Structure 1
């Protein structure tokens, strides 16, 4: 009788707060809180927020750009954690973008975020 070749084994014990993937095409994703909804509009907004933050990092820092960057970071964090962001946070972003009209005229990413916020 021929013996079978041993197969690779994976044993996972008690795991909390960790992310891992097993297999040739495995993909690990980690979410803190609820997983994002995957809503296309929310995903577009999240990408636009991140693009604007990257663009802001290349501008001269002012109180106005710091306030906007902080609000963008808060919205990014909330979307990443919950898959959504509340209306008051979006209103605050609209206000900050409205106050930074010169910035929205120069940075295409600011115009994109403004458009996604319905401005």
Structure 2
């Protein structure tokens, strides 16, 4: 014997997301997207390049830098901006990793992008 289907009523779902069933997933994106800031786009690109370079290294030497890059990238991708104190901290981490800056041109590019946003 089958279970009778229950009626489903959906009210107003304006600016909403609905997911029904096992493993259902819903996403909703609202608002108008403004053109990305070219400096932020350059910063994101530089961060992604450095993260790719760091992935080629073995060991945990730059694990803290990778974590900081990852968190800042998420913040920039989500909101289009990052807290200036986070950017200053990232720049300080890069400065402390001078050997890394010399090893990868991506680190130098990121350092330049941070300077463009934060100033000298």
Query: SS at 1:117's partner residue?
Result: helix
Q: Which runs of 4+ in 1 moved over 2 A?
A: 33-37, 60-63
C-alpha deviation, 1:34, in angstroms: 8.8
Residue pairs, 1:11-90, within 5 angstroms: 14=13, 16=17, 17-18=26-27, 38-63=36-61, 65-90=62-87
Structure 2 length normalisation: TM-score?
Answer: 0.69
C-alpha deviation, 1:114, in angstroms: 0.7
Structure 1 length normalisation: TM-score?
Answer: 0.69
Aligned position for 1:116: 113
* Preserved CA contact (<8 Å) 1:48 1:112: yes
> Could you tell me how far apart the structure 2 residues matched to 1:54 and 1:101 are?
18
Deviation readout 1:15-58 (Å, 9 max, x if unpaired): 51437xxxxxxxxxx68x99575111101100110110010000
Aligned position for 1:6: none
Gap regions ≥5 residues in structure 2: 1-11, 18-25
C-alpha deviation, 1:70, in angstroms: 0.5
Aligned position for 1:25: none
Query: SS at 2:58's partner residue?
Result: coil
Query: SS at 2:81's partner residue?
Result: coil
Aligned position for 2:5: none
> Could you tell me how far apart the structure 2 residues matched to 1:69 and 1:34 are?
31
Number of residue pairs the alignment of both structures matches: 95
Aligned position for 2:91: 94
